[in-house]
Structure 1
Amino acid sequence: MKIAIIAHPRFPIKSPFPGGLEAFIASLVPQYSAHAEVTVYAHPGSQIQSPAKLVTFPFDTEAHKQYPELIENDFLLKVMNDIRLKGFDAVHNNAISPIPTVWACKYDIPMLTTLHTPPYSRLKASAELSSLSPFVHYNAVSYSVAEAWQPYINDTIDVIYNGIELSQWEGKKQTKDQLFSFGRIVPSKGFDLAIKAANLVGIELNIAGPIYDQNYFDDKISPFLGKAVNYLGHLNHMELQSQLKKSRAAIFGVRWDEPFGLSTVEAMATGTPVAAFNRGAFPEVVSKEGGALARGNNVESLAEAISASLDKHSQDVIHRAHRFPLDAMCSAYLDKLARVS
């Protein structure tokens, strides 16, 4: 079986990963490669594990800063033309763009598109059109995302939860009196809310992640640094694991309906309870076993959730994480792709 994986071209598939989407794709590659011939279409800076093949095209980083959609569309048009010519048995599309599904619809390309985000306006019309094709299928990473997308898709949306290699996050818990928050540093991730909530609880907070909005970091994060708040930079897997094992709780103050939240599972796998807002997929992923969710949508309620999460037993938290194993995710995708082809 020949499988093509399409990554969104904005960021390379390379550790330390810019976000959950890139980590998700990297985790698929070795699992798919054990059962199929795999080609990954991704940013030229990507590092893809052999024997999978990386296919890429020029990507003007400077022009992308000014015209992101134009540069990404040009890249994805080249991707789809190459896929059309090579004739894969199935395509697993993860690009947040209407181009792959429209091309799949037009050229009868067997395609499974994973919905990683809530519905964006520019994707709704293409989804409604392309989902009429018997060759184009969709799945969602949570029931929350599936419910949000269902009005725009003329097909059943299966749910395949994201998963992680749980053994890579296990280890002895050595808790210190500190909290941790990590992810891409942009306003939607709500690091400023996590900082304010941690201050209310009175526990030191470490934050980590790549800075993708410098103005946000300078205006909302920097003024708190050195005042029981520390920025640790963009950490790799081992460094994240070390911080989580030392932390009493992981805080996620996101301002949007988080589609899944791979970081929450990574935190829970180390025995670190999660404190977050009660929205998006957090109720599905975290539940009562893996942490505590805020009753309201404000800093005070997030602080209450932090306090409540501290009472969770680490073994219960780990047990919750074990609902999301990588093997189960990849097996479900391979089964789905076999039916799509």
Structure 2
Amino acid sequence: MSTGLRLLLVSTPVGTLGSGRGGGVELTLAALVAGLGGRGHRLTVLAGEGSRLPPGSGAVQLWTCPGHDQPSWQHQSHDSAVQIPADGLLPALWDRVLQEQGSFDAVLNLAYDWLPLWLTPHCATPLFHLVSMGSVARVMDAVIADVARRCPGRLAFHTRSQAADFDLPGPPLVLGNGFDLTAYRFRAEPDPEAPLGWAGRIAPEKGLIDAARVAAGLGRRLLVWGVVEDAAYREAVEAAVPAGTVHWRGFLPTGELQAELGGCRVFLNTPKWNEAFGNVVVEAMACGVPVVAYRRGGPGELVEPGINGLLVPPDDLEAMQAAVLAAESLDRLACRHWVERHASREAFAGRVEAWLLAGLEPGSPAGHSLQGQTAGRTPDAGT
């Protein structure tokens, strides 16, 4: 099949594009809009009402739907049932997909939700899913396993550790993620006061309280960027450390975030769950900031010890304090070079394009050849 596909990209039903509430999905979508659009594909993005596309989206069309946000799966118990609120955004988005699917060669879903996964074998237009989280609920595990068996090649993952959460019939297709490296300025030296940094949603599963305690133990300031999803958790973080340890910077657009992030001496990553990838880890490295992370989930595949950061046993605060001191002497340019080799936006778009083209090839199991090609490691930028 030739390039120049007509693609419908469906965003998350949690928050609007540009608000930050969609977490890593927003960054991934921005990378795909630029990367796939630059490869000659005709793109339409479907998102919640009030969304806005990132600057430089060119001829990409934006469709929006009204509706109430979908409850986030990461805040449910493992045995929770599927919940769809009245006048929900999730069914509104997928009603629009079903109405418009005939105008597209493929639909690419970026949301981690039961409904689009369940629809996969029932859509007339091929429906692909870039899975954005690891295992969080039994019902989601089951529908992902079902799609993997019934519709080979329609699923892709960000990292091997994320894919390992699921019952898959064969090796996973691992695509990594991509970043606009022109948006991140390399900083050869940190700011004179050399704070530590942390970024992510302010919620318990992200483990900010651990980073705050590490910073307090070292007598350092900790700059924190992100949307406050759990106000009570933010208060608990404040109460756990001396006043003045945590400096709340809020959710910032990439340009403002990287300008502040680059001034940090070390970036901390402290997830309490199996993080699917770790976008903020790569963003820090792109600015030249070494990362100290728990050896858990996706960040454990992104940090190369001694090159762009250090890994420590999960939840070991003493080990993290020692690693921060060691990471301060790492070559900041090596951090930037790692991102250039492994996580460029252009290479990520090329991997996604290859996956879609393989899945649309008549008469062959979708993505079969690619699964064997990329399984076993997070792809390099040149793959």
- Per the TM superposition, whether the score is higher than 0.5 is yes
> Is 1:105 equivalent to 2:121 in the alignment?
yes
Task: Please state whether the residue corresponding to 2:59 is helix, strand or coil.
Answer: coil
Q: Distance in 1 between matches of 2:332 and 2:297?
A: 24
Give CA-to-partner distance per residue, 1:167-200, whole Å, 9 cap, x none: 2212343413211111111111111110101111
Q: Distance in 2 between matches of 1:128 and 1:68?
A: 16
Q: Which amino acid aligns with 1:70?
A: I
**Count of aligned positions:** 338
> Is 1:28 equivalent to 2:46 in the alignment?
no
TM-score norm. by structure 2 comes to: 0.81
Equivalent position of 1:250 in the other structure: 267
Task: Please state whether the residue corresponding to 1:284 is helix, strand or coil.
Answer: helix
> Is 1:295 equivalent to 2:310 in the alignment?
no
Equivalent position of 1:337 in the other structure: 356
Task: Please state whether the residue corresponding to 2:65 is helix, strand or coil.
Answer: coil
Verify the 8 A CA contact 1:11 1:22 in the aligned structure 2: no
Matches within 5 A, 1:157-172: 157-172=172-187
Distance 1:282 1:303, change over 3 A: same
Deviation at 1:159, TM superposition (A): 0.4
> Is 1:79 equivalent to 2:79 in the alignment?
no
- Of 337, 342, 345, the residue aligned with 1:326 is 345
Give CA-to-partner distance per residue, 1:15-38, whole Å, 9 cap, x none: 656522211112211222332221
Verify the 8 A CA contact 2:133 2:276 in the aligned structure 1: yes
Q: Indicate the larger mover: 55-64 or 205-214.
A: 55-64
Q: Percent identity?
A: 24
Distance 1:332 1:62, change over 3 A: closer
Verify the 8 A CA contact 1:15 1:236 in the aligned structure 2: no
- Of 178, 181, 185, the residue aligned with 2:198 is 181
Q: Gaps (5+ residues) in structure 1? A: none
Verify the 8 A CA contact 1:105 1:135 in the aligned structure 2: no
Verify the 8 A CA contact 1:110 1:136 in the aligned structure 2: no
Distance 1:306 1:321, change over 3 A: same
> Is 1:38 equivalent to 2:43 in the alignment?
yes
RMSD, aligned CA:
2.6
Equivalent position of 2:60 in the other structure: 52
Equivalent position of 2:375 in the other structure: none
Verify the 8 A CA contact 2:292 2:320 in the aligned structure 1: yes
Distance 1:134 1:122, change over 3 A: closer
Equivalent position of 2:130 in the other structure: 114
Q: Indicate the larger mover: 191-200 or 99-108.
A: 99-108
Q: Distance in 1 between matches of 2:71 and 2:276?
A: 29
Q: Gaps (5+ residues) in structure 2? A: 76-80, 361-383
Deviation at 1:313, TM superposition (A): 1.0
Q: Distance in 1 between matches of 2:180 and 2:216?
A: 33
Greater helix fraction, Structure 1 or Structure 2: 1
> Is 1:123 equivalent to 2:137 in the alignment?
no
Distance 1:30 1:108, change over 3 A: same
Q: Indicate the larger mover: 318-327 or 214-223.
A: 214-223
Matches within 5 A, 1:167-246: 167-175=182-190, 176=192, 177-221=194-238, 224=241, 226-246=243-263
Task: Please state whether the residue corresponding to 1:206 is helix, strand or coil.
Answer: strand
Deviation at 1:277, TM superposition (A): 0.7
Q: Distance in 2 between matches of 1:316 and 1:2?
A: 38
